[in-house]
Structure 1
Amino acid sequence: MTDNIDTSYQPTTSARRLTLFSLLFILLTAAGLYAVYDQFAERSISFDARLIAPQTLVAIGALLLVYFISDGLRLHFTLRALGHCLSFPTIFRLVFINLFFSNVTPMATGGGFAQIWYLNRHGVPVGRATAATTIRTVLAVLFIFSLTPVFLLTMDAFDGQTITGDLGVALAIFILLYLGFFIVLLFRTRWLIGPLSGLLRTLNRWHIIGDTRHQLWQFKARREMLRFSRSFGDYLRGKPLFVVLSILFTALFLLSLFSFPALLIYSLDYDVDYLMSLGLLVVTTFIMYFSPTPGASGISEGVFGSFFSGILSGNHLILVIVSWRLITIYLGMIIGLFVLQRELIKTRRNPG
């Protein structure tokens, strides 16, 4: 490949916007927790020391390591299949940056821009970085979207749930649109060049971008879209070992993510059905993909509370929800914020 590194590429989310989204994330999370507290937890909550027992913390720590490591390795092997090899420290810093951005921006859009910016800074061309992050997302989507109908149709826990009735048609449409977009993005990338060029022309006509920038962006948009199209073909033609490992580590990442509620519930001495807990969280995650709120805040807590209220007593429901989000989201976001600050400082010191 002869792709050049575009050092001018920058993430588009401003500090003010990130702050606003962060505050919105906190407010919506609080609203979601209150809704669960009021509707499903019988207005009851109490701390249980069994969640911080040594054996529980060791088990959570071990699962958390699997979660973070498999998240990094699924991107690592996707990049390897595309012919790029970054150091493991570089890859794992991106894991946390992505956790921060994807959970403070609606529909995880900022997460994608931040990953592309970061990879570009470390020598991966924009088109290839876009391909790598998109392929990683598509692999996870395929797993989740394939498993969700299976669990919805086979699990007794969903009998009588609104999601399998009134919202069934809407969810089917969302699935088709979501998968349709990715199919076009991966297999018919050129189809998107026309609409994207039209959007840029409209921005220029409305004087949102000037003539010089319009011409530059038109060139870059076409170039990166074509690079992306070639990159996905390169992934499929990549070394089979790397392709298989990227898929296997995606599966391991999702399995570890979906296992946290079962571990928390088991630590509280409930007789938990692991497969049921796994299925409930798969469907919860599926719904979170369509949430317009930052990091699915508010919606994730509400859906989780609705699904798991039949398993947990009222005083434990909020406790498990907060613990689940703390382990899988909040902790990574906090680490990601510090990692991002360090990367931005490095960028200012060495902008080239």
Structure 2
Amino acid sequence: MNKKLLLRLTVLFAFVLLISAAVIYFTFDIRALDYLTLFEPRCILLALGCLAVGLLFDGLRLLTLASITDGQLTLKQVVNVVLSNYFLALVTPGASGGAIAQVMFMRKAGVPVAKSTVVVLVRTIMSISFLILLVPVVLHSDSDIVKWMPASVLTVVSVAFISLPVIAVLLMRSRYPERIIFWFTRKFSYTTRRNCYIWYQQFKHAVIVMGRHPLMVLRAFVESGLSLLFIYATVPAYFAGLNINFDLVQVMGRMVLLNLVLYFSPTPGGSGIAEAGFVVLFSNILPEGVEGIMAVLWRFTAEYLPFLLGAFVTIRAFGSDVLNMASVKSKTKPGKNAPSQ
């Protein structure tokens, strides 16, 4: 195996193991053993089933978006694209490799780089937009989270979150985004400024493509939401195994908030931040001492298991030199990979 890849996997494995051990150690309580002995193993199958359905809808979303750009993908190619995202996102800084892996597999399937870039960008936009639109619902339904927030502030926050996607679309119709990018990057290097501008052009192009196919976009948006919700449902599946009373809507709402934060996490796959956030959000729902174990179970099921599957399909397709290939892709001049207007 390539030494660079082996080293990266070793460091990642050690980091994940250390984080998981620390979370369990600092949250474990001897009374948790009573609940763990009553844990129903069949709920593990339920959690895996939720994950499988979530990945299925993720694949359906990819097929829908590919059809919008006139791209054709087989079932095997869809599986490769979805799983490879988990693998390279965890072994590259800032999860940047996830998008590169998807483009690599779609290009291998015959989808032009310009079209695959649009598909990848739209997938990310849809996921974040879906979570943003759910934030007001979560805030209004979870009194424990917003009990310190006045009703007027809650209303303003809710309106702001709902308005964000609309404002973004309206701004695309003006020259203000270019001016803002120019002003914020005026002291950066030429390469950085150019990359920021090209990223914005790709984003704008993705919005334009979505606007031409509203019904297909709506379908992909619904598939995106179902994918996320089923993957998050692995958590209440494990909670059910403890035979405790909990509010399903409340648990899913807090998973929405946590995963929205993880989209902007600087650590690999949100490791460390995800576990800490899980403990904070669910400490008042779970019995004392088991929140750390549940956090690790959730992370293994929803993140590390797809990562292992993604590692298998990615290394099998591109070999152990895949990290160098991804690095070359990321350093390719943006102008060559940018979607044409």
User: TM-score, normalization: structure 1?
Assistant: 0.72
Structure 1 residues 147 and 258, CA gap change in structure 2 (3 angstroms): same
Partner of 1:11: none
1:234 aligns with 2:209: yes
Q: What is aligned with 1:207?
A: none
Specify the code of the residue in structure 2 equivalent to 1:302: A
Are residues 149 and 313 of structure 1, via their aligned partners in 2, closer, same or farther at CA, if it must alter by over 3 Å? Answer: same
Report the Cα offset of residue 258 of structure 1: 2.0
CA distance in 2 between counterparts of 1:15 and 1:143 reads 39
Instruction: Measure the CA separation in 2 of the matches of 1:94 and 1:337.
Output: 12
Work out the CA distance in 2 between the residues paired with 1:202 and 1:21: 34
Given the superposition, is the C-alpha separation of residues 284 and 230 from structure 1 closer, same or farther in structure 2, using an over 3 Å criterion? closer
1:75-119 deviations in Å (ceiling 9; x for gaps): 111111121121111011111100112233343222112212221
Alpha-carbon separation, structure 1, partners of 2:65 and 2:171: 17
Structure 1: gaps spanning 5 or more residues: 1-13, 205-217
- What is the CA-CA distance between 1:134 and the residue it aligns to? 0.8
Give secondary structure in 2 for the equivalent of 1:295.
helix
Distance 1:42 1:227, change over 3 A: closer
Answer with 104-113 or 67-76: which moved more.
104-113
In structure 2, the partner of 1:259 is 233
1:136 aligns with 2:123: yes
TM-score when normalising by structure 2: 0.74
C-alpha RMSD of the superposition: 4.2
Residue 233 of structure 1 aligns to a residue in which SS?
Answer: helix
Aligned pairs for 1:273-292 within 5 A: 273-292=247-266
1:97 equivalenced with 2:84 (yes/no): yes
Q: 299, 305, 310: which is aligned to 1:325?
A: 299
Q: Tell whether the 8 Å contact from 2:80 to 2:105 is kept in structure 1 after alignment.
A: no
Alignment partners' CA distance in 2, 1:48 and 1:181: 48
How far did residue 255 of structure 1 move?
Answer: 1.3
Match of 1:272 among 246, 249, 253: 246
2:339 corresponds to: none
Q: 1:217-236 CA distances to partner (integer Å, 9 max, x unpaired)? A: x8x99999867755542332
Give 1:112's match in structure 2, choosing from 76, 93, 99. 99
Q: Which whole-Å CA distance do the structure 2 matches of 1:149 and 1:105 have between them? A: 32
Deviates more, 1:115-124 or 1:273-282: 115-124
Q: Which amino acid aligns with 2:50?
A: L
Q: Deviations over 1:189-238 (max 9, x none)?
A: 9939x96x99997459xxxxxxxxxxxxx8x9999986775554233213
- Bigger drift between 117-126 and 255-264 goes to 117-126
Q: Number of paired residues?
A: 311
Rounded to whole Å, the distance in 1 between the matches of 2:235 and 2:137 is 20
SS of alignment partner, residue 268 of structure 2: coil
Quick one: which amino acid aligns to residue 235 of structure 1?
A: M
Shift of 1:257: 1.8
The amino acid across from 1:16 in the alignment is K
